[in-house]
Amino acid sequence: MIRVLFVCLGNICRSPMAEAVMRDLVEQQGLSAEIKFDSAGTSSWHIDEPPHKGTQAKLREYGISTSGMCARQLTKNDFEAFDYIVGMDASNVQNIRDMLGEPDSQKIFRFLDLTSHKMDVPDPWYTGDFQETYGLAVEGCEALLELILKPSRA
């Protein structure tokens, strides 16, 4: 079983969007028994809240559910529990490394570094552009799924 954790600041916009998109991709490919997902925030601001209404609305447009999702904060136990810990931006990655005490771990990386963009996922909490975030989440999730499946294809 491969386990992936998506992390942003509050765990209500970007990381739950990536989690839901990835879950949908994996279900479409019949891999749900092999790959599991979760998301978390580096802050405690929104613990137990559902995804942002903009995230929910955008995902609903594409037939992707956010049912049962609620924000939680990253914990030290997450380092051992997950194979990949994916930060939505460089600040998130630094906070993850600091919070987990793992400054050099290769399992912690920035989401869009897997794509040609090599950039942060803009936070729609500030930009209001949930479509841009969705498009980047799809692209990043496709690249991440390819990375996860690559060793098993060899």
Tell me how many domains the chain contains: 1
111: amino acid identity, one letter: F
Helices 14-28 + 130-153 axis angle, to 10? 50
Query: pTM of the entire structure?
Result: 0.95
CATH number at residue 100: 3.40.50.2300
pLDDT digits (tens, 9 = 90+) for 80-114: 999 999 999 999 999 999 999 999 999 999 999 99
Residue 153 lies in a domain: no
Positions annotated as catalytic residues are: 8, 14, 123
Residue 154 lies in a domain: no
pLDDT digits (tens, 9 = 90+) for 8-61: 999 999 999 999 999 999 999 999 999 999 999 999 999 999 999 999 999 999
Residue 152 lies in a domain: no
Whole-angstrom distance, CA of residue 84 vs CA of residue 64: 22
Burial string for 92-117 (b: 16+ CB within 10 Å, else e) reads bbebbbebbeeeeeeebbbbbbbeee
Enclosing domain of residue 138? 2-147
